[in-house]
Structure 1
Amino acid sequence: MKTVEISAFAPAKINLTLHVTGRRADGYHLLDSLVVFADIGDELRLRPARGLTLQVSGPMADGVPRDDRNLALRAARAAGVLDVAISLKKHLPAAAGIGGGSSDAAAVLRALKEGWGVSVGDVAALGADLPVCMAARTTRMSGVGEIVTQVNGIPPLPAVLVNPGTAIPTPAVFAALQEQDGTPMDAIPAFADAESCACWLSAQRNDLEPPAIEIAPEIGDCLEMLLAQGALSARMSGSGATCFGLFASQSDAACAADALKLQQPNWWIQQTVLGA
């Protein structure tokens, strides 16, 4: 096995839709979700070392665990790699509904597989978002997250991501969910542009959005502010609290991001392109 220093990128995962379609006897919820990835994310570097270590830096490093609670460390350990030093530069907020930890773990596993030839095995054991984050492309995710199907026909979507700084535990959102047997998504068409995608999204759902707003009303504020800035569509991603707004152009998204940063200088606000 050749071991060299390698870099990896862990993009933000955005659930354009998230339909809860049932609940299994073991308590796990069945989902139907259209997932895209942003062009922003965390940065990782892996190098050969004596022992398994993790160093965390970056603007969103505060509160990120450095022990085995960290999915990047757990991913390396699960792959049987105990002689690697992982450097993680955090740009994505934690517990934000954009798969930060899962995307970090997937980036580690991809790097070990592609750079070092390591067999990564069953990634679903590390979390429901691991299979889709391993794919890191536009995907329809179903089952409890283990069924991932590549989706074509989604154009690059200019967007703004907004997080008010509220960490929301996913179990609390699912516990507050009233309707647990919703309908799945409609058939996903090929979209000509962001406008046609936003129009289709208006008939779809994130079933976790209402219970999340009950827990953190500021999520509703995020959605209203994005729409006020001209977003074609605004919705919460995952279990929150990050929200996204789709815009007709990157210049529109840039103007909206600048305006929102002036209104809420302490919020995490990022212009991005989804599905690029």
Structure 2
Amino acid sequence: MTGDASRSELAPAKINLDLLVTARRLDGYHELDSLVVFAPLGDLVSFAPAEGSGFGLTLEAAGPFAGQVPLDRDNLVLKAADLFAARTGAVVAGRIMLDKRLPVGAGLGGGSADAAATLRLLNRVCGTRLGNARLRELGAELGADVPVCVYGRPVRMRGIGERLDPVRGLPTLGLVLVNPGVHVATPAVFRALGGLGEERHGGIHPQGGPLVLAQYLAESRNDLEPPAIAVAPVIAKVLQSLRTIEDCALARMSGSGSTCFGLFAGPDRAERAAAILRQAVPAWWVQAVTIEPDLVEP
């Protein structure tokens, strides 16, 4: 899908490098502690305004995973647009196009990332000039993962997703993302979760290269990985396939699954690993991504 770049916004894939589930709240939510980064690939949200204010708002989908996208008002993209209009008074009429490039139910942010991109896009197109903090507040009304997707930079996410602390000093990362084509519902994974994990000891102060980071992450965990494997056993096969590739320093599931990632010493090695996996299992969605250090506050 192409169009005016000023009326398009990337919804980057969210990757949980680790994910600690440390408490269960009385309202049913869980307290989390997660190191989150964002990949330079994702869905693309575009907006074509209608001429005049007498038009409604519609959603269209394209891309390899468009068939899995609901186009009714339950879609978070339309919910984000409706909320933005209600809170700002802006007239939001026309057509939103969602180029769905990421698998659905994949542990990569998905609808939350799309909603965050919608808020950023409408803020720019409508000239409302809301700051990132205000956009995150709006995002929190849509879902626990939306604020971190609005933020869109390396961050330590805590609470139910509302506590965001910037993380500086991450090295350039070469990652391979692998999704086996299985939709894993987050509520099902949390229902399968057993006991709660220990809290993180100390802060996150990454130093050194990707292998040093891999060693730090190896001492951490994703508490949702075992219950997700119980729900979708193929996740274990993905992890094992990554671990058998030479130079894979760490293999872990992202979010609540089913996408897993392999961390490699550099982008070139990640590209070679992705090529190996595409040839070995053509049915899997495999992408090599390079994540650069973050230097700018949003």
TM-score normalised by L of structure 1: 0.95
Q: Is the 8 A contact 2:155 2:165 kept in 1?
A: yes
Task: Report the counterpart of residue 233 of structure 1 in structure 2.
Answer: 250
Residue 66 (structure 1) aligned with residue 83 (structure 2): no
Shift of 1:182: 2.7
Change (3 A) 1:5 1:40: closer
Answering whether residue 148 of structure 2 is matched by residue 132 of structure 1, we say: yes
Question: How far apart are residue 111 of structure 1 and its match?
Answer: 1.2
Partner of 2:221: 205
Is it true that 1:175 corresponds to 2:191 in the alignment? yes
Q: For 1:7 and 1:215, how far apart are their aligned partners in 2?
A: 36
Structure 1 residue runs of 4+, over 4 Å off?
A: none
SS of residue paired to 1:91:
coil
- 1:46-65 alignment runs, 5 A limit: 46-49=47-50, 50-65=55-70
Letter in 2 for 1:72: V
1:40-51 equivalences in 2 (<5 Å): 40-49=41-50, 50-51=55-56
Does the 8 Å contact 2:11/2:117 carry over to 1? yes
- The count of corresponding residues between Structure 1 and Structure 2 is 273
Gaps of 5+ in 1: none
CA shift for structure 1 position 178: 0.6
Paired AA for residue 161 in structure 1:
L
Counterparts of 2:199 and 2:279, CA distance in 1: 39
**1:222 paired residue number:** 238
1:275 shift after superposition: 4.8
Cα deviation 1:142-168 (Å, max 9, x = unaligned): 000111111101122101000001101
Structure 2: gaps spanning 5 or more residues: 86-90, 294-298
Structure 2 residue 105 is the aligned partner of structure 1 residue 95: yes
Q: 8 Å contact 2:197–2:223 — kept in the other structure? A: no
Spell out the pairing of 1:103-182 with structure 2 (5 A cutoff).
103-118=113-128, 119=130, 120=135, 122-182=138-198
1:24: which partner in 2? 25
In 2, Cα distance between equivalents of 1:245 and 1:115 = 37
Counterpart AA for 1:79:
F
Distance in 2, matches of 1:164 and 1:178, equals 24
Match of 1:13 in 2: 14
Deviating more after overlay: 11-20 vs 151-160: 151-160
Q: Which moved more, 1:4-13 or 1:213-222?
A: 4-13
* Cross-structure match for 2:265: 248
Q: Which residue of 1 aligns with 2:88?
A: none
The answer as to whether partners of 1:33 and 1:185 remain within 8 angstroms in 2 is: no
**Corresponding letter in the other structure for 1:265:** P
User: Does the CA-based 8 Å contact 2:172-2:266 persist in structure 1?
Assistant: no
Q: Which amino acid aligns with 1:212?
A: A
In the alignment, which residue of structure 2 is the partner of 1:264? 281
Give RMSD over aligned pairs.
1.5
**Cα 1:218–1:62 shift into 2, 3 Å:** same
State the distance in 2 between where 1:192 and 1:182 align. 26
- Deviates further, 187-196 or 34-43: 187-196
User: How far off its partner does 1:180 sit?
Assistant: 2.2
CA distance in 1, matches of 2:108, 2:44: 15
For residues 84 and 141 of structure 1, the distance between their equivalents in structure 2, rounded to whole angstroms, comes to 34
The residue identity in structure 1 corresponding to 2:204 is I
